[in-house]
């Protein structure tokens, strides 16, 4: 995936109940997709809490935030409740979306098929405006750069 590409559509279970279909979210505003390796891990917790704490800024610029990992929807729901997250997490348990976006580790510390920490901004039509993929699972995305693109 590169800037200018059309983002692959998907439908995934959401911690808000039901499923989220990307093409149904398009047109409502820009979308920030945040792929992360593991719920309940320290770095992922730090990232998700940063998003939670800055959600008013994302809302003000009409950006929808969706977190995606290969964790089960049950683990994600428990994590959302524990952290009091104010945006949905989507379960890519079958690893199809992470693979389609090119953000799947073959092996991360002995775990096969884990989402790489990455960020994609999609415009209202589903084109990629911004993409960032880290090979280092401890490196966080630059939220200020993301907000600048979203503005």
Q: Tell me which residues are annotated as active site.
A: 44
Query: Rounded to the nearest 10 degrees, how much is the dihedral formed by the CA atoms of 115, 63, 3, 93?
Result: 20
Residue linked to tokens 């199809």:
96
H/E segment holding residue 97:
helix 96-100
Cα gap 35→118, rounded to integer Å: 5
Query: Rounded to the nearest 10 degrees, how much is the dihedral formed by the CA atoms of 134, 138, 139, 142?
Result: 110
Q: In what order do the strands lie in the sheet with 30-35?
A: 89-91, 63-69, 30-35, 118-122, 128-133
**Phi, psi at residue 12, to the nearest 5°?**
-135, 150
């Amino acid at each position: 995936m590169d800037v200018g590409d059309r983002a692959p559509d998907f439908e995934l279970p959401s911690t808000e109940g039901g499923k989220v279909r990307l093409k149904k979210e398009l047109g409502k505003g820009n979308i920030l997709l945040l792929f992360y390796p593991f719920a309940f891990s320290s770095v992922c917790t730090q990232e998700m809490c940063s998003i939670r704490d800055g959600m008013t800024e994302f809302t003000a610029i009409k950006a929808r935030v969706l977190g995606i990992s290969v964790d089960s929807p049950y683990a994600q729901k428990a994590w959302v409740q524990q952290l009091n997250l104010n945006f949905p997490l989507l379960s890519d348990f079958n690893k199809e979306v992470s693979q389609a976006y090119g953000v799947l580790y073959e092996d991360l510390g002995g775990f096969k098929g884990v989402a790489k920490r990455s960020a994609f901004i999609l415009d209202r039509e589903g084109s990629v405006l911004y993409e960032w993929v880290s090979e280092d699972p401890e490196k966080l995305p630059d939220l200020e750069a993301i907000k600048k693109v979203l503005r």
